[in-house]
Amino acid sequence: MKVIEARGLRKAFRTTIALDGVDLHVEEGHILGLIGPNGAGKTTALNAILGLIPYQGELRVLGRDPSTERDQLMRDVCFIADVAVLPRWIRVSQALDYVAGVHPRFDRAKAEGFLARTDIKRTSKVRELSKGMVTQFHLALVMAIDAKLLVLDEPTLGLDILYRKQFYDSLLNDYFDRSRSIVVTTHQVEDVQHVLTDLMFINRGRIVLDCSMEEFESRYLEVKVHPEHVAEARALKPMHERQVLGRSILLFDLKLDRVDRQKLAPLGDVRTPGIADLFVAVMGKQAGQAQGVAQ
Amino acid sequence: MNTQSNAVPESFDSQGTAPAAISATRPMYWSIRRELWENRSVYIAPLAAAAVFLIGFVINMVIMRRSIASSPLGPAQQHDLLATRYEISASLIMGTAFIVGIFYSLDALYGERRDRSILFWKSLPVSDLTTVLSKLTIPFVILPLLSFAITLATQFIMLVMSSVVLAGSGVNIAALWTEASFFRVSLVLLYHLLTVHGLYYAPIYGWLLMVSAWAPRAPFIWAFLPPFVICGVEKIAFNTSYFLALLEERLTGPGGSMAGHDHATDFAGTLIPHHFFSTPGLWIGLALAAVFLFVAVRLRRYRGPI
């Protein structure tokens, strides 16, 4: 079953078009990373999926229409919309009581188990916790809910690297399995590179890249070119070039540029690029195209 | 850590096969508890009002005890001792609860948007209708019942205090307990609270909740400026003040039941159920409250943090 199925999703605010015909599919057991610059429409897309805003287009989440069946949908969908949305006045024990009271799929013992691994005290108020602890707490609540879809919108923004690593580690080790799906947006793409199963780039309300991580790894190659081969490498039309410590690093799309691994290997050190580098390359190309149109 | 991750798949299975059904009242019950956790002023303010009143009352009793020695109580003072103070205590606690209710309602659906916690509440399977109704319950049911209980306790303490302080001063202590007609007045008070503070004020709370759900900022101004402007425009355009009279009538209760009666038993007369429930104003008000609440629920549906 498709967990999320969106076709031609559109959303316009008064002056801007936030989503301009987005097609999006998430299968069961997948972790999709939705990556894009600020204002690209990531949060708008997630809000539409969660039934938080009205939209145009076709959208089914777990077979339901989020705009009319939101209340039922929230039994099977969980989300962390942002860091620090937990009410600051609530006590840890009260939040556990409340979620246990209203959520039919919340396993309190499990949440307590997650909390036992942290320094969070049951009697603390959320306002007394550090930002990292609030996120840990929110994640403990969410992971104890037996949901089919988990949506994370910038869940680790502003956290230090230890908390971020721990966040994704617990998500993978203690929560994720083949019957669940996760959609995550983040700017800290290097954190999620080895977490995702699928990758999507979004820019100005449009999907500009949509591939599985397997495809990503086989399709894109980064070559740290030996200085003597730079001209030769450039002739193969890389999609992007950048300089690091005097060395040229060229990014190739093996599908489009009609080059292959064998041809590139002699030119320098070949490796899989980081999502961030591909992101810069793709967005750079987009900007270039936009300028080209303007001219 | 290992034992936990091993236990995880089993618990998933057991939960997956039987997603425990939660009865419709449970989210309501927990939402109301949630409101009381967040807004402790709901019970602290009326309790504080009662405490302050009792301090004043004790001082007054001690002074009275001294003066009785020189001059015995006249009929006016006797009446004051038996009725007026009890009415004042009730009014003070009711008034405090009403003010708390107004400020509570104004913040109820605005505060969660301002502190962004609405994104957390909306991630749980609690409908907008349940949320708005749970917030209405505070001024509509909880505050009247709470002020009744606090008033009852306060008046009981007052009777005990009077008995203790005035013992042996020549005042008939037994009359205090019989003449003050403690329990009969209490029932009238409960009736007044539930009908006027609950039902008759419903459109006020409905309006405040609606503004609270809508206001982009400063809900207080959005709530109180429009009625003020309407009164002003009406005065200038038609030189009438029907709207103002309407608001006054709403605040004082049907037929001005709160004003002009110095006996609690008298004012019960204007509140007989048959009379109260045949007031068109009551039903118009309730219909208006329903409209305001419906709009508040619809507004919360697509309202995000501000």
Enumerate the H helices of chain A as residue ranges: 42-49, 70-73, 92-102, 108-116, 131-143, 161-170, 189-192, 213-219, 230-234, 261-264, 275-294
Q: Is the pLDDT of residue B3 over 50?
A: no
Q: Which amino acid, A188?
A: Q
Size of interface A-B (CB pairs under 8 A): 101
CA trace torsion B91, B96, B102, B104 (10° rounding): -150
A63 Cβ under 8 Å from any chain B Cβ? no
- The total of other beta-carbon atoms located within 10 Å of residue A24's CB is 21
B chain contacts of residue A174, beta-carbon cutoff 8 Å: 4-5, 8
The mean per-residue pLDDT over the stretch A182-197 comes to: 92
Average model confidence (pLDDT) across chain A: 90
Rounded to the nearest angstrom, the minimum Cα separation between A244 and chain B is 41
Q: Best interface-test mutation with A: which of B107, B123, B132 has the largest number of A CBs within 10 A?
A: B123
Dihedrals φ, ψ of B93, to 5°? -70, -40
CA distance A135 to A156: 7
The span from the first CA to the last CA of chain B, in angstroms, equals: 40
Residue B230 DSSP SS3: helix
pLDDT bracket for residue B179 (50, 70, 90) = low
Q: Do B9 and A89 touch (CB under 8 A)?
A: no
A89-98, A238-247, A257-266, B187-196, range with greatest mean pLDDT = A89-98
pLDDT tens per residue, range B47-65 = 999 999 999 998 888 888 7
Retrieve residue B117's tokens.
Answer: 């916690």
> Which of the residue ranges A32-36, A208-212, B109-113, B176-180 would you say has the lowest mean pLDDT?
B176-180
A chain contacts of residue B305, beta-carbon cutoff 8 Å: 85
Which of B8, B30, B304 is opposite residue A98, by nearest beta carbon? B30
Contact by Cβ (8 Å): A9, A57: yes
A chain contacts of residue B16, beta-carbon cutoff 8 Å: 146, 179
Q: Is the pLDDT of residue A145 over 60?
A: yes
B chain contacts of residue A53, beta-carbon cutoff 8 Å: 302, 304
B chain contacts of residue A180, beta-carbon cutoff 8 Å: none
Q: Do B22 and A88 touch (CB under 8 A)?
A: no
pLDDT tens per residue, range B105-150 = 999 999 999 999 999 999 999 999 999 999 999 999 999 999 999 9
Q: Best interface-test mutation with A: which of B17, B26, B124, B132 has the largest number of A CBs within 10 A?
A: B124
Dihedrals φ, ψ of A269, to 5°? -85, 125
A140 Cβ under 8 Å from any chain B Cβ? no
- What is the reported pLDDT for B296? 97
pTM of the model: 0.87
Task: Compare all CA atoms of chain A with the CA of B8 and give the residue at the minimum distance.
Answer: A174
pLDDT bracket for residue A291 (50, 70, 90) = low
B6 Cβ under 8 Å from any chain A Cβ? no
* Better-predicted residue by pLDDT, B167 or A174: A174
B chain contacts of residue A113, beta-carbon cutoff 8 Å: 4
Q: Is the pLDDT of residue B266 over 70?
A: no
CA distance A237 to A253: 9
Q: Report the complex ipTM.
A: 0.91
A chain contacts of residue B8, beta-carbon cutoff 8 Å: 110, 174
Q: Do B117 and A110 touch (CB under 8 A)?
A: no
pLDDT bracket for residue A211 (50, 70, 90) = very high
Pairing of strands A56-61, A2-12: antiparallel
A95-99, B4-8, B25-29, B266-270, range with greatest mean pLDDT = A95-99
Q: String of b and e for A66-98 (b: at least 16 CB within 10 Å)?
A: bbeebeebbbbbbbbbbbbbbbebbbbebbbbb
Length of chain A: 295
- Report the percent of chain A where pLDDT is more than 70: 97
**Contacts for B66 with CB less than 8 Å, ≥ 6 apart:** none
The mean per-residue pLDDT over the stretch A268-284 comes to: 90
B19 Cβ under 8 Å from any chain A Cβ? yes
* Better-predicted residue by pLDDT, B131 or B272: B131
pLDDT bracket for residue A176 (50, 70, 90) = very high
Contact by Cβ (8 Å): A99, A114: no
B chain contacts of residue A54, beta-carbon cutoff 8 Å: 302
Chain A from 222 to 281: CB within 8 A of any B CB: none
Q: String of b and e for B77-109 (b: at least 16 CB within 10 Å)?
A: bbeebbbebbbebbebbbebbbebbbebbbbbb
Q: Do A88 and B115 touch (CB under 8 A)?
A: yes
B84 Cβ under 8 Å from any chain A Cβ? no
Task: Compare all CA atoms of chain B with the CA of A100 and give the residue at the minimum distance.
Answer: B30
B38 Cβ under 8 Å from any chain A Cβ? yes
- What is the reported pLDDT for B158? 87
pLDDT bracket for residue B258 (50, 70, 90) = very low
- What is the reported pLDDT for B13? 38
* Better-predicted residue by pLDDT, A178 or B42: B42
The mean per-residue pLDDT over the stretch B28-46 comes to: 96
Q: Is the pLDDT of residue A126 over 80?
A: yes
CA distance B260 to B266: 10
Contact by Cβ (8 Å): A148, A62: yes
